[in-house]
């Protein structure tokens, strides 16, 4: 570890579960959405049913993301069949987006909300969808907890004047117009950037934020956008070997930058391991503060 010196590098940080924990805001976000529906004139019991359904859809989506062993579906209400049904509804709602962009924003809360409202038989328009989903994300932002280790590390990075870029996925903000969903990457990106700016209040600093709009992690295009953003902001060409990427997911944060784009170093934050060790271009640490000794 001693032979590694990262003082003159540029750091790119994944946000969720690397710098902050957003999981605690989930229930609060559901409550905020329910209140926003009520404020928009939806009857209380209907608003409650809609949000219960949004919660159910979200749980199924998380199960779909996490489950690797088919047997584990037995413990999920509705099981894999319900998950597949939700996926096909999501695809149907985003058919035009898929035709235009070649992908869909699977985690779009706008679409979850629309599916839930349909299931309760309540019509909602773009204005309601937008304000309710805004309420969801504002609640998540408000309740996000910045890790102490991140605050301490950023203080040290600042002392060394190290440039920092945040790497964060898209919120998948979609617009609902004339009965169909559409996607404007600038609209979606700007919303997420504004949300991330709140982190400055927590003592984090950064030169810019790279959001997964239009292309998201772990695509090559996403990380290439990161490189071109850095070159633009710093006003010079930066060699990819000077880039250090830090994240909690090997697949989403590190594989492409390290093995395809020649980044200098990848740091995996994994609480389950003890201490720090290095293997080739990957350093595994159990706490962000271990980076301080490498500066």
Instruction: Choose between 10 and 268: whose C-beta lies nearer to Mg ion.
Output: 268
In a 10 Å sphere around its CB, with 0-12 CB exposed, 13-18 middle and 19+ buried, how is residue 48 labelled? middle
Angle (CA) 74-75-80 rounded to 5° is 50
Q: How far is the CB of 45 from Mg ion (least distance, A)?
A: 37
Q: How far is the CB of 267 from Mg ion (least distance, A)?
A: 13
Instruction: Choose between 40 and 219: whose C-beta lies nearer to Mg ion.
Output: 219
Residue 151 binds Mg ion (CB under 5 A): no
Helix (H, G, I), strand (E, B) or coil at 165: strand
Task: Measure the CA–CA gap between 51 and 196, rounded to whole angstroms.
Answer: 25
Of 52-60, 133-141, 161-169, 240-248, the window that binds Mg ion (rule: CB under 5 A) is: 240-248
End-to-end CA distance of the chain: 11
Task: Measure the CA–CA gap between 14 and 217, rounded to whole angstroms.
Answer: 10
Instruction: Choose between 126 and 219: whose C-beta lies nearer to Mg ion.
Output: 219
Q: How far is the CB of 19 from Mg ion (least distance, A)?
A: 9
- Which of 174, 176, 248, 265 is in the footprint of Mg ion by CB under 5 A? 248
Q: How far is the CB of 144 from Mg ion (least distance, A)?
A: 13
Contact letters for Mg ion, residues 9-28 (x by CB under 5 A)? -----x-xx-----------
Residues 52-71 that bind Mg ion (CB under 5 A): none
Helix (H, G, I), strand (E, B) or coil at 20: strand
Task: Measure the CA–CA gap between 50 and 150, rounded to whole angstroms.
Answer: 37
H or E segment at 154? Answer: helix 148-159
Helix (H, G, I), strand (E, B) or coil at 222: helix
Of 6-14, 84-92, 198-206, 269-277, the window that binds Mg ion (rule: CB under 5 A) is: 6-14
Residue 126 binds Mg ion (CB under 5 A): no
Site residues, Mg ion (CB under 5 A): 14, 16-17, 248
């Amino acid at each position: 570890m001693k032979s590694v010196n990262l003082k003159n590098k540029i750091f790119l940080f994944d946000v969720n579960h690397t710098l902050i924990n957003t999981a605690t805001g989930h229930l609060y976000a559901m409550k905020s959405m329910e209140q926003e529906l009520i404020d928009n004139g939806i009857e209380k019991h209907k608003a409650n049913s809609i949000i219960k359904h949004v919660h159910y859809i979200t749980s199924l989506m998380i199960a779909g993301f996490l489950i690797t062993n088919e047997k584990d579906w037995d413990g999920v209400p509705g099981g894999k069949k319900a998950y597949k049904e939700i996926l096909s509804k999501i695809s149907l709602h985003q058919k035009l987006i898929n035709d235009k962009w070649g992908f869909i924003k699977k985690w779009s809360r706008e679409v979850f909300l629309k599916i839930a409202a349909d299931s309760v038989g309540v019509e909602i328009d773009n204005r309601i969808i937008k304000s309710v989903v805004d309420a969801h994300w504002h609640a998540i932002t408000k309740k996000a907890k910045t890790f102490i280790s991140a605050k301490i590390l950023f203080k040290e990075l600042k002392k060394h004047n190290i440039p920092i870029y945040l790497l964060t996925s898209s919120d998948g903000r979609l617009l609902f117009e004339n009965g169909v969903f559409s996607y404007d990457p600038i609209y979606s990106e700007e919303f997420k950037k504004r949300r991330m700016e709140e982190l400055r209040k927590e003592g984090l600093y950064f030169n810019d934020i790279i959001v997964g709009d239009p292309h998201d992690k772990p695509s090559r295009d996403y990380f290439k956008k990161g490189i071109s953003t850095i070159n633009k902001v710093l006003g010079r060409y930066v060699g990819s070997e000077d880039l250090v990427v830090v994240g909690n997911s090997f697949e989403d944060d590190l594989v492409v930058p390290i093995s395809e784009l020649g980044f200098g170093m990848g740091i995996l934050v994994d609480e389950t391991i003890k201490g720090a060790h290095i293997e080739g271009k990957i350093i595994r640490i159990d706490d962000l503060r271990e980076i301080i000794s490498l500066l």
